[in-house]
Amino acid sequence: MPSTLDSHTRSLLEEARGWLGVKYAYGGHSKSGTDCSGMVMELFGSAAGIKLPRNSREQHKFCKKVDKKELVPGDLVFFANNLRTGRIGHVGLYVGDGLMVHASTSRGVIVSGLGEDYWTKHYVAGGRVEDFYKRVSDQQRKDKKRKTKSGKAEKPAPQTERETPTPVVPVPAPVPMPADADESADTADVTVSQWFDILP
């Protein structure tokens, strides 16, 4: 998760936060009860005015495919309930730091880690809503230009002969989430603050 968020992504994640705890209801897409694709559809509709297809398979087709390593907050993650067929049957909203918000059939709308055993085994693909991503990219470019014009982007001070560059310390890779046996145990101890506490 970036230390600073553009306004579009911030609005989407704030909307997702408001759905945490909503009970699961097959075919539902409101805060009185929702399924996975219904929640995702409503998130983008409410926060961005973007209309997504109703079910997870169509949402997968609607999105641009994204490698798992390239996921950014606001992307979607898709899973197959049946490993034999590989048919997509579940979707979640990626929120950064290896986490997603999704509607679990057993626990309602929760935060889960992609590193959990069940989700690792059933993962199919990442998807990007191109219209939303374009807005994010445009906003980031505008913010960068605005900072440059306002003089906030300071040039680094020239180094003297005695100065030595500060070594770059590599950031360790995130530790995988605890593994769970099946979807009924897809609620590893992940607190909301782990991804929402950076929001302004």
Query: Angle between the 130-149 and 7-17 helix axes, to the nearest 10 degrees?
Result: 130
Distance CA 57, CA 74 (A): 18
Q: Furthest-apart CA pair in the chain: how many Å?
A: 68
For 108, the 3-state DSSP assignment is: strand
- Asked if 33 contacts 24 with a C-beta cutoff of 8 angstroms, the reply is yes
Note if 29 is an active site residue: no
Note if 36 is an active site residue: yes
Catalytic residue among 8, 29, 90, 122: 90
Catalytic residue among 8, 29, 36, 63: 36
Catalytic residue among 8, 29, 60, 102: 102
Which residues have a Cβ under 8 Å from the Cβ of 138 and sit 6 or more positions away? none
Note if 122 is an active site residue: no
Distance CA 32, CA 1 (A): 29
Distance CA 123, CA 88 (A): 9
Active site residues: 36, 90, 102
